[in-house]
Structure 1
Amino acid sequence: MSQTVAVLDIGKTNAKLALFDGGRLLWEKSAPNRVLPGPPYPHEDVESAWNFFLDALREAARTRQISAIVPTAHGAAGALIGEIELAAPVMDYEFTGVEAIEPDYARLRPPFSESLSPKVPAGLNLGRQLAYQKWRYPDLFAKAKYFVGYPQYWTWRLSGVAVSEVTTLGAHTDLWAPRRGQVSSLAKALGVDQLLPPLRRAFDPLGPIRPEIAAVTGLAPETQVFCGIHDSNASLLPYLVSRQAPFTVLSTGTWVILMCVGLSLDQLDPRDDTLANVDALGRPIACGRFMGGREYAAIAGGSGNPDLDAIERVIASGAMALPCFSSHGGPYATTKGVIRGEVAARDRTALATLYCALVSDLMLTRMGATSGDLIVEGTFAGNLAFCQTLGALRPTQRVFAADDAAGTARGAAMLAHWPPSYPIVAPTPVPAAPVAGLDAYRDVWTAQIGLIGR
C-alpha cells in the first residue's frame, strides 16, 4: 500500500503542495498567495489557492499513488462556514480595520492569566476578527454553521467534515485557555463556542476525500484526509518525538517563533509578545515571536546572507538597528524602527542578521530559556552567520541548523502515520565561532532599547 502523503501547506506568502514518503520529500510545487481587498474586508483568496491545489494534486496523481492528505496553515486565520460554502470571507490578519471595535472587544477579552494570549495588532488575535465579523457583519455571521481554524477549513473542503483542533485554537486567539485545555470565556461571551465543531486531534483521520475531488484530481476515492495542524506546531513535531526537553525550536520565515519545550509558563509577559501555544498533544508550550523575516527584509533591503566578517564590520562600525521594523508582533511592535550610524550597502544583510539574532537572544532571556539546545529551522537555518551569532550570544547552549526548507510540510506529513516509525533526520550542529566585539555591542544595543517603552 502506498505511504505517499500530500501536504497542503498554506503560508502567509505562498501555498505549497508537497509529497512525502517515509519522511522523504518526493515532489513539491508552490504558488504565491493573494489577499483580495474586499468587500467586505481584505481577505484570503481561497479560491485561487483551492484551484492551485486541485491542479497540483492532479499533476501529482499522474505519477504517485497518494494515500493521505494533511493540511497545515498559518495562524490568526479561521473560517465561518455554512452548509456548503464560506459564510464570510477568511479575513487577512493584517487588516487594521478590526481595531475599530476596541474598547468593546477589550471588555470581553480574557485576562492573560487565562488565555496566555497577548494583545497584538490588527487581526492577529483571532477572537478580535470574530468579534468584528459578528458586530459589523451580522448577516454574514448569522449564516455560519461552524467556525473552524484555517487548516481545518481545508480539511472541510477536502472531506466535508468540520472539526476543531487545539494547535490552531491555541495560537494567540484569545479563544482558548491552555492551562485548562478548554475554550476561554471569550468564546462563550461571543457565542462562538456554539459554532465550534467537535474537537479532534491533529493526527486523526477524518474520512476520505469528497467524490467530486477524486473525480477532478484522479486521486483514489479512499484517499484519507487528516485533521491538520497550525504551521509552527508542524515544525515542532519532529523534535517532540526525537528530543528530550528542554530545547527550543526557532521556526523562521515571515515570523520567527521561539518554541521553548519544557520551559515554565511563569515568565511569559504579554508586553514582550510571549505567549503559550498548544502542541499537537494538547500541551501548552512557552513561546515568543517577532516578525523576523519581514524585519530582516526591511533592514537588509535585499536578499542574501552575510558572513561573520560582515557581522564584525557592522559591530566595529557601531551601526545599530533598533526595533521595530514591522508593526505586527514582537516586544516593540508599537515603536518605529530606526538605523543609527552608517553601514555600507554591502553590509545591510549583516546588520539585519545581527538585529534578528539580538532580538531572538533578548526574548529567550526574558522567557528564561537559558538551557537546552537551540534548533533553527526555516529560512534562517540557511543563514550560517545568524546561527553562529546566536551561538556566540548564548555560549552555554548548543545551536543546530535544520537545513530543510520543507520543515513545516515534513512535520505535517508525520501526522498521517503517527507516531512515525521512520528515523527523524537530526539537525546539523553549528560550529561555535567567536564574534569580535559582540558582547560589548549587545550591552550598548540593550541599553538603547531599554529607553524604548513597551
Structure 2
Amino acid sequence: MKQNVTAVFDIGKTNKKFFLFNDDFKEVYKEYARFDEIEDEDGHPTENLEALQNWLKSLFNRILEAEEFNIKAINFSTYGASFVHIDENGNPLTPLYNYTKPLDQDIIDSFFETHGPKDAFLKTTGCTDLSMLNSGLQLYWLKKKQPEVFKKIKYALHLPQYLSYIFTGIPLSEYTSIGCHTGLWNYQEKDYHEWVYKEELHKILPPIVSTETSLNMNYNGKRIKIGVGIHDSSSALLPYVRSINKKFVLVSTGTWSIVFNPFTEHPITKESDGTDVINYMRINGKPVKATRLFLGNEYKLQVEKLDAFFEVDDNFHRAVKFDYDTYIELNKDFKHRFRWGSIIDETMPDKTEIVYDTYEKAYHQLMMELVLLQVKSINKAIGTDDVTRIYVDGGFTDNEVYIKLLAHHFKGKKLRTTNASMGSALGSAISISDSKLNSKFLKKNYALKKHTPFIIG
C-alpha cells in the first residue's frame, strides 16, 4: 500500500534538496543536488535556472511514478531576495540575478533623489541598506538600465513563487517573500510602499495570497495540492510558531546568526538604531523583528588564528568542553582581547592579544567575547517585548561552551536547543497542511533539549 506524503523542494544557494514527509512530518525520503553556477551578461555568477527547472520536473515526475509513495501535496522553500522575470508566455527574460551582484551607485543615488529620504525609507521597509539584496531595487535597476527588457516583463515572481508557477502556471505573490528585506513593503501601512505604485511596479507584481494557500491541481493525471512557496527563513520559523504557545525568540546559528522575534510589538521604525536590525514577515503578514550577527564567519576566522598560534589541527576546537574553573578565572579580571575581522564592535581592542598558555583558555576567552556579541544581538531583537523563551538551532547547538555561556547570560529565561537540519523544508510542508501541532512536536521531531544555567559558587 502506498504511503501518503508531502513533497518539498528546499532550494538553497549551494544545496538543492528534495524531501518527502509522511503525515507525522517524519522524513521518509530525501535527495540532494548541486549545480555549477553560470554567469549573467556582466560575468557575475548566478543560479543555473534552466538546470534547476529541469531537475525539479524530472525528479518530481519520477517520484510520482514511484510505487511506494502517493504524493498528496507539494511545496517549495527557497532563499529570498531573488526574482524571476517572465514574459507573457511564462519564459524567463533575464538571468536570476544574484543578490551579491553590485548595484550601481548612480541607481542608488537616483532612487533616493526620487523616493528618499534614506533613513526613513530603510526603516519603513525593514531594510538596512540598498543593494541587490533588496530585490525591489532590482526592479528599479532593470527599469532604468534595461528598459526594453523591463517592458516585456509580464510578471516578476519571487523565487519560491516561480517554482510553484512551474507546476501550476498561476502567478502569485505571498507575504514571506515580499517581507524579506525587499524594499517593497511598508510595514507601517501594511501595503506596498508608495514608491512601488509611483514606479507602477504593482502592475507586474502578481496578486498577494496567504502563504498557506494551496491550489488543487490535476498534474500528470493526479490530483495534487500545490503550495505557493515560502521564503526559507520564515519557513524555518513556522514549526516553532505553530507548536509553542509562549512568546519566544529563535536564534538560528550558522555563518550568520539571525535572531527572530515573531511576537514583536515594535517592528523597526525610523527611531530604531543599528544597521543589523531588519524585518521579516510571518505567513499572515505580521512583522518579525530580526537581528543578524556574522557569528559563524567570525568564529571561523578566529579559530584558524588560534589553531596556527597553538599549532593544533583544524578540528581541535571541536573537542573543547566548557570548563567552569577556566570561566571563573577569565571572568575575574575580564578584558576584551580579540579584534574582529568581519564584525565592528566598540568593545574590541586595536589588536588581538593571546596571553594564555593553553588553547583551551584562549578558546574560552574567544567564546566569552563572541557570546557577549550574541547576547547583545538577542537583547536587541527582544527589545521591550515580554519574551520568556529562547530557542537555538543550527551549527552552534553542538558547541558546549557557547550554549553554557548563553544559558548563563539568560538565566531568567528558558533556553532550549533543537536539531532542525531540515527546518525550512519541514516548515514548508507544515504551511500547507491542515494538521495542528502541539507542544510535543519539537521534542518528537526536533530533538529538543533543555539547558540550565551553571551556578557560580
TM-score range, shorter chain: 0.7 to 0.9
- Per-residue CA deviations over 1:335-389 (Å, capped at 9, x if unaligned) read x998612387788876775555333211222341673211112333333332222
SS in 2 for 1:142: helix
Q: Which amino acid aligns with 1:365?
A: N
Return 223-232 or 315-324, whichever deviates more. Answer: 315-324
Whether contact under 8 Å (1:124, 1:172) holds in the other structure is yes
Shift of 1:313: 11
Q: Which of 90, 94, 104 is the aligned partner of 2:96?
A: 90
Does structure 1 residue 325 correspond to structure 2 residue 342? yes
Does structure 1 residue 300 correspond to structure 2 residue 308? no
SS in 2 for 1:417: coil
Whether contact under 8 Å (2:125, 2:193) holds in the other structure is no
Q: Which of 428, 431, 435 is the aligned partner of 2:451?
A: 431
Q: Residue 38 of structure 1 corresponds to which residue in structure 2? A: 40
Change (3 A) 1:414 1:266: closer
Q: Residue 178 of structure 1 corresponds to which residue in structure 2? A: 187
- Per-residue CA deviations over 1:244-289 (Å, capped at 9, x if unaligned) read 3421011233432211132331676353321221101111122112
SS in 2 for 1:134: helix
Whether contact under 8 Å (1:364, 1:370) holds in the other structure is no
Change (3 A) 1:70 1:267: closer
Q: Residue 133 of structure 2 corresponds to which residue in structure 1? A: 124
TM-score normalised to structure 2 length: 0.81
Change (3 A) 1:411 1:421: same
The 1-side partners of 2:56 and 2:145 are apart by 32
Q: Which amino acid aligns with 1:251?
A: S
Aligned length: 424
Matches within 5 A, 1:74-223: 74-82=79-87, 83-107=89-113, 108=115, 111-112=120-121, 115-120=124-129, 122-208=131-217, 214=220, 221-223=222-224
The 1-side partners of 2:170 and 2:133 are apart by 26
Return 195-204 or 1-10, whichever deviates more. Answer: 1-10
Return 230-239 or 287-296, whichever deviates more. Answer: 287-296
Q: Which of 268, 273, 277 is the aligned partner of 1:274?
A: 277
Change (3 A) 1:146 1:197: same
Return 425-434 or 370-379, whichever deviates more. Answer: 425-434
Whether contact under 8 Å (2:128, 2:278) holds in the other structure is no
| Percent identical | 21
The 2-side partners of 1:409 and 1:385 are apart by 29
The 2-side partners of 1:247 and 1:204 are apart by 26
- Per-residue CA deviations over 1:71-123 (Å, capped at 9, x if unaligned) read 11112112212222112222111112444522112232572476342333642
The 2-side partners of 1:47 and 1:337 are apart by 49
Shift of 1:430: 3.6
Return 269-278 or 166-175, whichever deviates more. Answer: 269-278
Whether contact under 8 Å (2:242, 2:437) holds in the other structure is no
Q: Whose radius of gyration is greater, 1 or 2?
A: 2
Shift of 1:431: 2.4
Whether contact under 8 Å (1:259, 1:288) holds in the other structure is yes
Change (3 A) 1:122 1:267: closer
The 1-side partners of 2:14 and 2:351 are apart by 26
Shift of 1:177: 1.4
Aligned-residue Cα RMSD (Å) equals 3.5
TM-score normalised to structure 1 length: 0.81
Return 374-383 or 171-180, whichever deviates more. Answer: 374-383
The 2-side partners of 1:359 and 1:33 are apart by 36
Whether contact under 8 Å (1:248, 1:259) holds in the other structure is yes
